[in-house]
Amino acid sequence: MVILHVSAECYPMAKAGGLGDVVGALPKYQKKLGDESMVVMPMYATPFLQNNEWDVIYKGNTHLGDWFFDYTIIQEKTNQLGFSLFLVDIHGLLDRPKVYGYNDDQERFIGFQVAVVNWLSHWTSPPDILHCHDHQAGLIPFMMKYCFDYEVLKNIKTVFTIHNAQYHGAMGWDKSLLLPRWDTWKHGLLEWNNSINSLATAVKCADKVTTVSQTYMHQLKFQSAGLESLFEYEQGKCVGILNGIDNELWNPATDPMVPFHYSIENFEEGKRKNKQFLCTKYNLDVEKPLIVFIGRLVGEKAADVLPGAIQHALDKTNCGANFLVIGAGDTATESALNYLIQLYPGVYNTFIGYDEKTGHEAYAGADFLLMPSRVEPCGLNQMYSLRYGTVPMVRDTGGLHDTVTDIGDEGGFGIRFLHATEEDIVYSVERAIGLFQDKEKMQAIIHKAMSIDHSWESVVSIYKNVYQSI
Ligand code: GLC
């Protein structure tokens, strides 16, 4: 089977969140299962682009409304990621350092999608499955079926995976002029709430729709920023498939970004050394439990609740724990978090920004990982933390519900709470401190956490069944 993934992110070429991790790993494991799996994404001006060698494999031209442009498809020479990675170069539109955040993002991603279908229409033998991810690739199933120039593509089956339904890629009808000539009788497929809605269009037009956990699939019918009735209506073609993690990349025994390697056999010593390293680096108290938050500082992750919750937790427990917050996002949240540094020296710190190494060091050195997310389609961080023997403290939602059981329950290995509120977080911190003080139980929980397997191997066959069903 030949599968082509279309995505705005793919680690290590470009990553803004979990989407990049998933698209950077899933194809590798699909290839291991014996299928041909490839990725096409925009050519941003990232370090990975500059530090690697590329072959030009296709040059084409098409148009975005009345703007005619040339595009080039390049391929990474060595297949070092374990699969073929293709980049779409549209000069002036995509070749910028950031993935998102420009005023013309709508034009950029429509341009990307138009170039992809144009390129695909020149393949001598097309893929069996086009697997599109999130709204930046959401118009492709529509274009393949209803754009007159791309009729040759209409029999290729499409799968659409939702990594985050909070972002719809909605735009005014004026943008319809940017799409290649399309069958206007089909305008209802583009429409949602008087706008063109890329996510809704993909849900309507793809042959199968998946999202990244079963619980989130269910929640979409109640909480998807306005698309609830659509998910209710289309549920017959929708399925929730929990993500895996790349166990080769995320392995505390070999991870080059982790200062002291360890495995399930010797985690006690390994984690202690890594914790010492982190505590020295961030001026924290190695004797106290270390709770980290790693993620974007945005409402979805409930980052706005953190400053108040951390302050209350530290006051109530008489600084019984350390907190380290790693991430960037809303500036008000960033400053509120930074303000606490002077109030709680020696037990609290922040790293505003994100880089992979800082994240890996924190998974290895922390005792607990806090994820109070309001919305969490899957969540990869709790799975990384389990693998690194860091006990997850999660709000009971989406993929967090599907991957973390509470230490109060039979066989549980995490701390779960119901609400993204200061009260629930403070209570969970008290429970974490209690667990930390019971050394024997803590070690048993870490052992249990590290033995949980979220590798991609078992997940790829589920995707394969989805492909085969269409
Ligand atoms: C998005 C979601 C996250 C999910 C990731 C990969 O970033 O917010 O929950 O794990 O995509 O699917």
Ligand 1 atom, smallest distance to 134 CA: 11
User: CA 63, 67, 70: angle at the middle one, nearest 5?
Assistant: 55
Q: What are the tens digits of pLDDT across the range 184-222? A: 999 999 999 999 999 999 999 999 999 999 999 999 999
Q: Which of 88, 83, 74 is nearest to 39 (CA)?
A: 83
* 2-244+457-469 carries CATH number 3.40.50.2300: no
Regions of the chain where pLDDT drops below 50: none
Q: Is 167 in the pocket of ligand 1 (CB under 6 A)?
A: no
Backbone φ and ψ for 52, nearest 5 degrees, come out as: -130, 165
Q: Is 22 in the pocket of ligand 1 (CB under 6 A)?
A: yes
pLDDT at 27: 98
Q: What are the tens digits of pLDDT across the range 119-129? A: 999 999 999 99
pLDDT at 354: 83
Ligand 1 atom, smallest distance to 216 CA: 9
Q: Is 18 in the pocket of ligand 1 (CB under 6 A)?
A: yes
pLDDT at 254: 98
Query: Does the fold of domain 267-450 match that of domain 2-244+457-469?
Result: yes
Q: Is 212 in the pocket of ligand 1 (CB under 6 A)?
A: yes
Q: Which residue out of 301, 378, 403, 404 has the highest number of ligand 1 atoms within 8 Å of its CB and is therefore the one to mutate?
A: 378
Residue closest via CA to ligand 1's atom 5 equals 18
Q: Which residue out of 160, 163, 216, 219 has the highest number of ligand 1 atoms within 8 Å of its CB and is therefore the one to mutate?
A: 163
Q: Where are the domains of the chain?
A: 2-244+457-469, 267-450
Scanning 4-149, the segments in alpha helix (DSSP H) are: 18-32, 47-50, 105-120, 140-146
pLDDT at 236: 97
Distance between Cα 383 and ligand 1 center (Å): 12
pLDDT at 456: 97
Distance between Cα 454 and ligand 1 center (Å): 15
- Classified by CATH at the fold level, domain 267-450 comes out as Rossmann fold (3.40.50)
pLDDT at 239: 98
Distance between Cα 145 and ligand 1 center (Å): 28
Distance between Cα 259 and ligand 1 center (Å): 27
Distance between Cα 163 and ligand 1 center (Å): 5
CA distances 260 to 42, 275, 292, 361, 400, Å, are 36, 10, 18, 9, 28
pLDDT at 400: 98
Distance between Cα 164 and ligand 1 center (Å): 6
pLDDT at 106: 98
Residue closest via CA to ligand 1's atom 12 equals 163
Q: Which of 77, 84, 94 is nearest to 39 (CA)?
A: 84
Distance between Cα 380 and ligand 1 center (Å): 7
* Cα distance between residue 405 and residue 146, in whole Å: 45
Ligand 1 atom, smallest distance to 243 CA: 12
Q: Is 19 in the pocket of ligand 1 (CB under 6 A)?
A: yes
182: which residues sit within 8 A by CB, 6+ positions away? 142, 143, 146, 147, 148, 176
pTM over 0.75, yes/no:
yes
Ligand 1 atom, smallest distance to 17 CA: 7
Distance between Cα 10 and ligand 1 center (Å): 13
